Amino acid sequence: MLSPNDCSHSPQTRFDLVQVKGAWTRQTEQRQVAEGKLSDAKIHEKKSEHGVCWTVISPIVFTYRVIQCQNILDPRNDTLLWGHLGDEELKGTVGNLKPVKRFIVIDETVNRLYGSQVKSYFESRDVVYKMLPLPTTEENKCMELVTKILEEVHDFGIDRRSEPIIAIGGGVCLDVVGLVASLYRRRTPYIRVPTTVLSYVDASVGAKTGVNFAGGKNKLGSYVPPVATFLDRSFFQTLPMRQISNGIAEMLKMALMKHLGLFQLLEAEGRRLLDTKLQSDGTNSSEREDSATASTRIAIETMLEELAPNLWEDDLDRLVDFGHLISPELEMRVLPALLHGEAVNIDMSFMVYVAHQRGLLTADEKGRIIRCMLGLELPVWHQDCTLALIQKSLQERLRHSAGSLRMPLPTGLGQAEIFHDMMEENILSRAYEEWTDELAPSGNKYSTC
């Protein structure tokens, strides 16, 4: 039997892979490639008295676009149909006489509001399309929904390389369709069109897909980014105010972790952003952005900065996990009482108190953060977020984090670090006591702010 040590300690030969006339062959790295196409992949070969060990190194590169645009459902706007393609790809596609086909999964609420516009868009462009409205809620986020979509996609028939599936809806819709696309023919391109603030700044711009399983949030999933995400804030006009606040929680997360300017903007302009539902006020020009444009742009840029180098979460030290240590357990326990962003904000609120107990935040900084949250109409405490739930959540996190808790915490306004030693019971218990004393409804010291 060949043992792992045989691969580790035996001399190895490194091979390049070169394609000539359709066939790939190995060549030692010392040989100069005279003709053919050189792959970035490598094969390392080690021989021992027990056998041969091959180690394959195959880089995988994903390229995807995130496009902010206006009036995406205007038939004169090419983005929804062709925005995922580069210029050269577009030239070849537009000249193709083959009918254009698109399969669209749309949240049933979004369908009631915008379905007729979506249909008009594709019909005006002579697209062969199928629209599938579905109740994409957290309660329905399961493999049964994935299977239903897969069956419909299969019956409709799409080219697995040139006819992307389009998801139009909130985060649940985008997550589920992403998982569908990663499974169908092992990987089919898909496009995300977020219609909620939360999905706009969070679910739409990364690579995660998933569904809930065994009572856990997003326990099943994959890392496959869309070929494109199209961002249009005009969808927010039909959202309830609570959904606006819910999404701004993820913007606040990025502000607290890494952008003082965004925090100051949310602190000063939060009420206006809520009242206008993040719509531009007409004051932006080439010299100055309005607050809605600036806040969403910064949220997207900071999110992409954190996600792009670590799409597969090979590095578990992630600032974007702030607010996501306790919230999954809390959200699933009280479902559907709390929206995702609301649960995240309660988690962030508690962690602000942990940071204060650790000496990372001053009392003034803590107060400014809590007042900002309240100004954005976000919950800062919940009766079901008990100390026992917090301890259980952190233990679960520890169990799945390679032996280290990895706790992102603010170390000031707009700056943060990741700590690995925050399991001290005295810090958690003191933070919980102060958090409850100050923010529980019976004694909320910030309730008049």
Q: Catalytic residue positions?
A: 208
Amino acid of residue 415: Q
Angle between helices 241-258 and 363-375 (to 10 degrees): 150
Strands 190-194 and 165-169, by their bridges, are parallel
Amino acid of residue 343: A
Greatest Cα pair distance in the chain: 78
Cα four-point dihedral sign 295, 371, 366, 439: negative
Peptide bond into 336 cis (omega under 30): yes
Cβ neighbours around 7 below 10 Å, total: 19
Rounded CA-CA distance 342/27 in Å is 56
280 to each of 61, 229, 274, 296, how far by Cα in Å? 36, 20, 12, 11
Both structure tokens of 165 = 């599936």
Local structure of residue 206 (DSSP, 8 states): S
Residue 394: which of 435, 351, 359, 361 has the closest Cα? 351
How big is the chain, counted in residues?
A: 449
Rounded CA-CA distance 131/121 in Å is 12
122 to each of 63, 82, 234, how far by Cα in Å? 26, 12, 19
Q: What angle do CA 34, 35, 38 make, to 5 degrees?
A: 100
Q: Tell me what percent of the chain is helix, strand and coil, each rounded to the nearest 5.
A: 45, 20, 35
Rounded CA-CA distance 103/166 in Å is 6
Rounded CA-CA distance 338/251 in Å is 18
Both structure tokens of 148 = 């239903």
